[in-house]
Structure 1
Amino acid sequence: MKLIEPISRKLNNLGRAYLSQLAKQVEPLGISRYYYALTYICYNDGRLTQKALASELGKDKSLIVNVIDTLTEQGFVYREVNPADRREHLLKVTAKGKKTVPKLVDAFETLNKDITEDISDEELRIFNSVLKKMEHNIKPSTEINNKTKP
């Protein structure tokens, strides 16, 4: 038997290390997680529903409810009834959130710069291209597996 390391192991390790460094940088801001979700909500302030956020981030709707609940409890976002469709809630950013997001974006930029040091623009372009191809390649098998399950 041959031991094969799943690609996901390396991606998960990198993701965990990245988020650990990011958490250290933004700890004084009072946000414990869901950094990108907050920045995405702020970018679309008042134009996103929970359902739209789930779709945009490729996450399950029930997980997004937890994300919004956590960000609400931490004082970064709130829900407001959509006047055009009272069944929906629009996601809005609080004053605290609006002060925090530029600092999060700075932290993303700093960390991205640090971890890509000594990596050329061409290498980053190839890396991103390969990730997109892998994402494309894995989706059909995932969709097929989900359709074949009873």
Structure 2
Amino acid sequence: MGEEPVDTELIWDAIEEISLDRVRRYADVSGDHNAIHVDPAAARAAGLSAPIAHGLLIVGIVLRHADDWLTRNGGTISGCDTRFVRPVYLAEDPVSLHVTGHRAGPGHIDAAVWRFDPDGVTHRAIIRPIRISYTADADT
């Protein structure tokens, strides 16, 4: 007997805009005022080409989408795991991120985040897919 097929239902597909203003607001709320996130000169001094978005801001955006879906479907996030593969460099114009979530079987969501290149078409992964675990009253 073979394995049961994995449920890969798309449960959200969104575009999120990351701007320097959004990063500054996140810095205020989180208390993380590291200059590499908000000051171009400090970012360059640290060897970066531009300020970078907070990694936890990106993860928080993904978890908000997961929480919204789980709240509508009677579930609760119980954990997550990921690894960043490239930073989100900030520019004068907002950076567009493509954020998706797929059911990966009972109790698991796989979420992905890509950055659009300036051509508006090419995607570059920002993180290794986030594996989100959840609990539910019923199989969500």
User: Normalising to structure 2: TM-score of the pair?
Assistant: 0.23
Higher relative contact order (CA closer than 8 Å, sequence separation 6+): 2
For the pair shown, the structure with the greater C-alpha radius of gyration is 1
More helix by share: 1
User: Normalising to structure 1: TM-score of the pair?
Assistant: 0.22
More strand by share: 2
